[in-house]
Amino acid sequence: MSVAARVALVTGGSRGIGREIVRGLVAEGWTVAFTWREREAEARSLAADLDGAAHPYRLDLRDRGRPADLVVEIEERLGPIAGLVNNAGVRHDALLAALPDDAWDDLIDVNLGGVFRCCRAVVPRMLRRRAGSIVSVSSLTALRGVAGQAGYGAAKAGILALTRCLAREVGSRGIRVNAVIPGYVPTEMVADAPPERIAALRSTEALPAGVTAAAVADAVLFLLSDRAASITGQSLTIDAGTLA
């Protein structure tokens, strides 16, 4: 990708892993559009910290039409989107027998449907340009069962299948599609988890330092970059050795 074409869209970019991805992309010379849903002040603060290289946009992934409109808005303002990072998501933890339909629907709609709609919005434009890279953030729950996360895990597993299928569809036009699978990462999204649950999640890690948001961001940046020019349809696990 040429420097002039290096515009990225990061969903859920104002906190946690997304924030580290935004910061990392800016440090590598990208212009970044990132989305927020509820915490506008955090998004504006991040944009201010990055001196105009990052631009916040509101996006609720439940809105069917918004991703397509957002892509047009970003490209008209910043230029062609060369990289898409599907990071935004929601959690509704409950044992399956107690999980209401609306919570299940929301998990699938946001965590999987949102990835589908954002990919659908950028892919036709990438196809015309014969260039682009997409990276989606899944979860170790997609590979390793966690009680209380059946809906979340099902949606995150769906991302891995979507990644492989889309990579087959667009590879001939030079577009790469990959995913990352983080293990437990201490971010705001899991701040409400009790200590004993965190200890259980980390009990099988081989590396005592665990997984940081910055480590996940580094993997995403690698997959977006030309250093991963021959990698597509893959899912990179960043789990401190949990699955070793």
* pLDDT for residue 196: 83
pLDDT confidence bin for 189, thresholds 50/70/90:
low
pTM score, whole prediction: 0.94
Block residue for tokens 């409109």 = 69
Instruction: Give the Cα separation of 176 and 195 in Å (integer).
Output: 39
Residue 241 Cα distances to 91, 100, 197, angstroms:
24, 34, 18
pLDDT band at 3 (very low <50, low <70, confident <90, very high): very low
Q: Work out the burial of residue 21: count CB atoms within 10 Å of its CB; fewer than 13 is exposed, 13-18 middle, 19 or more buried.
A: buried
In contact, 109 and 34? CB cutoff 8 Å = no
pLDDT of residue 110: 98
Tens digit of pLDDT for each residue in 85-144?
A: 999 999 999 999 999 999 999 999 999 999 999 999 999 999 999 999 999 999 999 999
For the record, the structure tokens of 138 come out as 């899944």
> Which residues form the catalytic set?
152
How far from chain centre, in Å, is Cα 66? 17
185 Cβ contact list (under 8 Å, min separation 6)? 16, 17, 211, 212, 213, 216
218-243 burial by CB neighbour count: b if 16+ within 10 A, else e? bbbbbbbbeebeeebbbbbbbbbebe
User: For residue 59, which of 21, 18, 100, 93 has the smallest C-alpha distance?
Assistant: 18
Q: pLDDT by residue (tens digit) across 192-230?
A: 777 887 888 888 999 999 999 999 999 999 999 999 999
Kindly list the structural domains of the chain, giving each domain's residue range(s) and its CATH number in brackets, ordered by start: 3-236 (3.40.50.720)
* 56 close to 15: Cβ distance less than 8 angstroms: no
CA 6: distance to chain centroid? 18
Beta-bridge mates of residue 81 = 7
Mean pLDDT of 175-192: 88
**pLDDT per residue as tens digits for the range 15-67:** 999 999 999 999 999 999 999 999 899 999 999 999 999 999 999 999 999 99
List, for residues 160-179, the tens digit of each pLDDT value: 999 999 999 999 999 999 99
31-36, strands of its sheet edge to edge: 54-58, 31-36, 7-10, 81-86, 132-137, 175-182, 235-238
Bin 168: left if φ > 0, else alpha if -120 < ψ < 50, else beta.
Answer: alpha
Half-sphere exposure of 42 (CA within 13 A, CB side): 16
What confidence category does residue 187 fall into, taking pLDDT thresholds of 50, 70 and 90?
confident
How confident is the model at residue 2, as a pLDDT? 41
